[in-house]
Amino acid sequence: MFRVFLLVYTITTPALGLSPLGLDRNFTMSTAETDEYQCACLPSFNCIPEKHYCNTTRGVGCYSIKERTSFGVDVRRGCGMDNQKHLMNCQGKRDNVWTDGPDIAVRCCSYSFCNADNDPELKATKVVEEMTFNMSMLMAVLVPIGVLIIAVIIVFFVFRHLQKQRPESRENLRVREELLPQEYGGIRVTQVGDSTLQELIDESCTSGSGSGLPFLVQATVARSISLIECIGKGRYGSVWRGRYHDENLAVKIFSSRDEASWLRETEIYNTCLLRHEGILGYYASDMTSRNSCTQLWLIMHYHENGSLYDYLQSTTLDWEEMLRLCHSAAAGLVHLHTEIVGNQGKAAIAHRDIKSKNILVKSNGLCCIGDLGLAVTHTQENNKIDLGRNNKVGTKRYMAPELLDETLNPEYFEAFKQVDVYAFGLVMWEVARRCVTEGMVDDYKPPFWDVVPSDPSFDDMKKVVVIDQQRPAIPNRWSSDTILHQMSRLIQECWTNNPKARLTSLRIKKTINQLLNQPQCKKVKDTNKC
């Protein structure tokens, strides 16, 4: 670039009346010097053969150039010949140094050997500034790194010192993860040790703790569970009876394709205030690896009677037992459907899969509702309906007409609650069939057992429920029993075709409670008499 500039300069200077060296013609013509003199030359191929000089003429002069290249500093000297005029640019300043910067410097002079030992000097200011700047940048990076390394070393030795002072071995620490009492998200985390699950639940329970253990304790509990026997299988996976110390619990193991149900149930149990005797008790969730396979665990209370579906197949009921089962299940449904407003309240929840297989029977003869994998939540504050990420629908046999004919409005939360009430009416019908009256009892049968296959399709149920508007048959013997007759009226008000005409879960609970408290009713052996 520099050479191009000089070439342009030498071409344009004659037109301006200047000599190639930038000297005006008057100066050139008035000088007293001889017409020819010598200049030092370097490298030798610019010189007269076997000489270290070259001849120049008055008005052209000598030059000396120092240039910094990638190979080092290059020095060139010579005469201002015509073919080298592009090297002679002193901007009109004879016998002076013109410096382009730190990479090139030029000196021009006009007397014999004036360029022999008088080379120009390159500027070094920019280089020094860059070195200073680079050093500052280097220090800005190295100093924090050094401080960080020193801090890590100090922390490491302090930790080693504390470890040596702890009396427990590593093996004891692995088995007994001791969590010091502290506040964790508003939940008091307690020492695990030999405590039972119920003790841990009681100690960690606060008004905002959901229904399970704190997250830190959940992982510890899950690692300490032994699976004893498989007690049930379904499309979702399997249910096992497990042991934690000397306590039985139920472990629901989800298959990988049903991960959405596991996530939804875990989310609801850990964010909603679900601690209620009518809701299946929850301990913890865990994603664990057994036999090189990832398993999704949901750890719940264990009830040896199993589901209401299993219980009704092997047990007949008297009048009081029937009402207690229905009343406790209705109480659980009321708790789900009710929103508790407050800083540590609970959203309203619609179950969406009410059936006898999702209701458990406890040892005291009461029921609790489980399986919240399809649940939908709603809060009045923002009027938001949360359907979760599970695209599955409920059990076809228990589907309400509005689901089967696809007229349900998903933006209206009450519609989901009305679907639960329809299904609960079918469950009460299942329970009431097993109630003994006058020595008679019906065999257990699922709803619509006589009009659809054992695994009915969507179209099968739509034809029976929507098109034919059929409902399970009410046995004739119910009409002669006061309690069963009232139960039949209650059931029919739950499964009516018009969703808005159905009873609320609270109304169901209150009605059954009135039947339970009738003073004139007494249980005599296997017969209910009023």
Which 3 state secondary structure label does DSSP give 151?
helix
**pLDDT for 277:** 92
The C-alpha atoms of residue 8 and residue 394 are separated, in whole angstroms, by 89
Least confident range from 77-81, 300-304, 497-501: namely 77-81
**pLDDT for 173:** 37
Q: What is the mean pLDDT of the chain?
A: 79
pLDDT per position as a tens digit, 452-493: 999 999 999 999 999 999 999 999 999 999 999 999 999 999
pLDDT at 90 over 80: no
**pLDDT for 373:** 87
pLDDT at 437 over 70: yes
Give the residue, 451 or 192, on which the prediction is more confident: 451
Confidence of residue 425 (pLDDT cuts 50, 70, 90): very high
Q: Which residue has the tokens 């150039």?
A: 65
**pLDDT for 191:** 39
Confidence of residue 174 (pLDDT cuts 50, 70, 90): very low
Confidence of residue 132 (pLDDT cuts 50, 70, 90): low
Instruction: Tell me if the pTM is above 0.75.
Output: no
CA–CA distance from 2 to each of 7, 194, 377, 470 (Å)?
9, 87, 78, 100
Residue 251, φ and ψ in degrees, nearest 5: -115, 115
User: Are 264 and 388 spatial neighbours (Cβ–Cβ below 8 Å)?
Assistant: yes
**Among 385, 373, 374, residue whose Cα is nearest residue 347:** 385
Residue 63, beta-bridge partner list: 78, 108
- When the candidates are 2.10.60.10, 3.20.20.140, 1.10.8.60, 1.10.490.10, the CATH number that belongs to 2-124 is 2.10.60.10
Q: Which residue has the tokens 């708790």?
A: 335
What is the DSSP code (8-state) at residue 48? Answer: S
pLDDT per position as a tens digit, 409-424: 999 999 999 999 999 9
Residue 290, beta-bridge partner list: 293
pLDDT at 12 over 50: no
Confidence of residue 524 (pLDDT cuts 50, 70, 90): very low
CA angle 338, 419, 364 (to 5 degrees): 60
Give the residue, 341 or 185, on which the prediction is more confident: 341
Give the residue, 123 or 453, on which the prediction is more confident: 453
What is the DSSP code (8-state) at residue 260? Answer: H
Confidence of residue 342 (pLDDT cuts 50, 70, 90): confident
Confidence of residue 13 (pLDDT cuts 50, 70, 90): very low
Q: Which residue has the tokens 């249910």?
A: 239
What is the DSSP code (8-state) at residue 503? Answer: P
Give the residue, 362 or 5, on which the prediction is more confident: 362
The C-alpha atoms of residue 514 and residue 206 are separated, in whole angstroms, by 33
User: Are 94 and 61 spatial neighbours (Cβ–Cβ below 8 Å)?
Assistant: yes
pLDDT per position as a tens digit, 378-391: 998 888 899 887 77
**Among 356, 355, 368, 282, residue whose Cα is nearest residue 324:** 368
CA angle 513, 515, 521 (to 5 degrees): 130
Residue 278, φ and ψ in degrees, nearest 5: -95, 5
Just give the CATH number of 308-529.
1.10.510.10
Give the residue, 59 or 96, on which the prediction is more confident: 59
Give the residue, 172 or 408, on which the prediction is more confident: 408
The C-alpha atoms of residue 107 and residue 86 are separated, in whole angstroms, by 13
The C-alpha atoms of residue 225 and residue 229 are separated, in whole angstroms, by 12
Confidence of residue 45 (pLDDT cuts 50, 70, 90): low
Which 3 state secondary structure label does DSSP give 525?
coil
CA–CA distance from 386 to each of 156, 209, 415 (Å)?
47, 20, 14
What is the DSSP code (8-state) at residue 448? Answer: T
The C-alpha atoms of residue 191 and residue 196 are separated, in whole angstroms, by 11
Least confident range from 286-290, 457-461, 493-497: namely 286-290
Residue 271, φ and ψ in degrees, nearest 5: -115, -15
Just give the CATH number of 182-300.
3.30.200.20
Average pLDDT over residues 249-263: 86
The C-alpha atoms of residue 111 and residue 106 are separated, in whole angstroms, by 16
**pLDDT for 301:** 93
pLDDT per position as a tens digit, 193-230: 445 555 555 554 443 445 666 655 666 677 788 889 99
The 8 Å CB, 24+ separation contacts for 309-316 are: 309/355, 309/356, 309/357, 309/359, 309/430, 309/446, 311/361, 312/356, 312/430, 312/431, 312/433, 312/434, 312/444, 313/444, 315/434, 316/434, 316/435, 316/436, 316/441
**Domain ranges (residues) in the chain:** 2-124, 182-300, 308-529
Catalytic residues: 353
pLDDT above 70 covers a percentage of the chain that reads 73
pLDDT at 88 over 80: no
Same fold? 182-300, 308-529: no
Give the residue, 230 or 275, on which the prediction is more confident: 230
Average pLDDT over residues 266-277: 85
The torsion of the CA quartet 339, 345, 347, 353, rounded to 10 degrees, works out to -90
pLDDT above 90 covers a percentage of the chain that reads 42
Average pLDDT over residues 220-241: 83
Length of the chain: 530
Average pLDDT over residues 53-65: 80
DSSP state string for 95-145: TSEEE-SSSEEEEEE-STTTTSS-------HHHHHHHHHHHHHHHHHHHHH
